[in-house]
Amino acid sequence: MKISAADIAEASAVLRAGGWLSRTPAAFQDAILERSIWHHIEAGAALTHGGDREGGMYGIGQGSVDVTPATGPADLPVVHIGRAPYWFGILPVVSHAPRAVSIATRSDCLAAVVPQPALDALLAAHPEWWQLLAMQALEHFSLAAQTTSDLLIPDTRRRCIAVLLRETGHRVGDVPRPQIDIGQDELAAMANMSRQTASTVLRGLAAHGLIEIGYRTLTVRDAPQLQALLDG
């Protein structure tokens, strides 16, 4: 599918406006986007596989992706939904270590792909920019730590709330996006509970006007009250 200049400009603006790249200097942003190769990728396509040691860095400028751990059994559920602007793929670049997650497109996506040789050459010319790439790795570490902490919450209602607030950007991210395209079964798997338990929790929250349940969508209506319930 041919990508128009207008589409690239719009997706580039999204990547500059939020997420990791937005927290870097303009010169670095320019350098990254100038070296990007843009791809339109249909929903359901595998972008990276756990264990890969190469492949470059990805920036999702439009659409969303599923993030699945690659360090356990093959049937592990999605642990995070990355929505534009979302960057990933830094681990092989920084350390040449294998990728720790597998990522697939959840919807049709417009992605900026920065090949690893281009990144290597850029960093050789500007070694001071290593720190900027490390910022991306630290953001992923922070998200992983929060995900782990959420799964250790013993109370099922609080654990469900924690995952919902995290995935709608109320606990991580630049700007909260209250609605997320996710089914109750998926949220249940992400919160490590049965669908029946998650459904009971969500219906209770909806009855109090804290969330809205749609067809494979969940919308946060009262984030402060949900946070208060999470904090106990």
Residues 130 and 18 in one domain: yes
Residues 122 and 162 in one domain: no
Say how far apart CA 67 and CA 215 lie, in whole Å. Answer: 22
User: Can you tell me the mean pLDDT for 176-203?
Assistant: 97
Give the model confidence (pLDDT) of 16-48 as tens digits: 999 999 999 999 999 999 999 999 999 999 999
CATH assignment at residue 212: 1.10.10.10
Residues 88 and 185 in one domain: no
Do the beta carbons of residue 221 and residue 212 sit within 8 Å?
Answer: yes
Give the range of the structural domain holding residue 188, as residue numbers without chain letter.
154-231
User: Can you tell me the mean pLDDT for 110-132?
Assistant: 95
Give the model confidence (pLDDT) of 64-77 as tens digits: 999 999 888 888 89
Residues 146 and 162 in one domain: no
CATH assignment at residue 53: 2.60.120.10
- Residue 197, helix vs strand vs coil: helix
Q: 172: burial class by Cβ within 10 Å (0-12, 13-18, 19+)?
A: middle
| Residue finishing a domain among 129, 150, 171 | 150
DSSP label at 192? T
Q: How many domains does the chain have?
A: 2
Residues 96 and 119 in one domain: yes
